Amino acid sequence: MKIAIACDHGAFDQKVMLVDYLKESGHEIVDFGLEENRTVDYPDYALPVAEAVSAGTVDRGVLVCGTGLGMAMAANKVPGIRAANVVSTEFAKLAREHNDANIITLSGRFTEPELNRELVRIFLETEFAGGHHIPRLEKIAKIEERSSQ
Ligand code: RB5
């Protein structure tokens, strides 16, 4: 898969680790930074990843900050984005099966690197279940349409 990734200063080391892991797993990475650890504003890094996913130039996105919360909030403002802040293997699976999440957001401060690797693996390998979840996603899309008018 082609995967866009970015982080802020709350998760620099974990982003480096995840890039290595994803490359070793055979994925193509588009890295939107940070390139070195410095204090930044997470929306500036969520935006290019969310826009790449929304435009379809990448398949999925991975965003990492201190909690993953700010990255999710920012990414979810971009049309077509369903970013899920994930802290457990169950959430990683359900974010895909029920919500067809196209971006995973992770905590660099409260989740251990080994678990984050596993969360990303599950996020990338799990298929959307479809079926009765489809009309719910269509309702989310309608909210988005209404809000942009
Ligand atoms: C940065 O200190 C921190 O606020 C950020 O990484 C993230 O946790 C925001 O949601």
- Specify the DSSP class assigned to residue 56: T
Q: What is the mean pLDDT of the chain?
A: 98
- Under DSSP, is residue 83 helix (H, G, I), strand (E, B) or coil? strand
Res 27: pLDDT: 98
Distance 52 CA to ligand 1 centre (A): 22
* Active-site hit among 7, 9, 27, 98: 98
Helix 12-24, helix 113-125: angle, nearest 10:
50
Q: Which atom of ligand 1 is the closest one to the Cα of 65?
A: 6
Q: Is the pLDDT of residue 148 over 90?
A: no
Check if the beta carbon of residue 42 is closer than 8 Å to that of residue 74: yes
* Active-site hit among 9, 65, 132, 133: 65
pLDDT in tens, 30-66: 999 999 999 999 999 999 999 999 999 999 999 999 9
Which residue has its alpha carbon closest to ligand 1 atom 10?
70
Whose CA is closest to 11, among 126, 149, 119?
A: 119
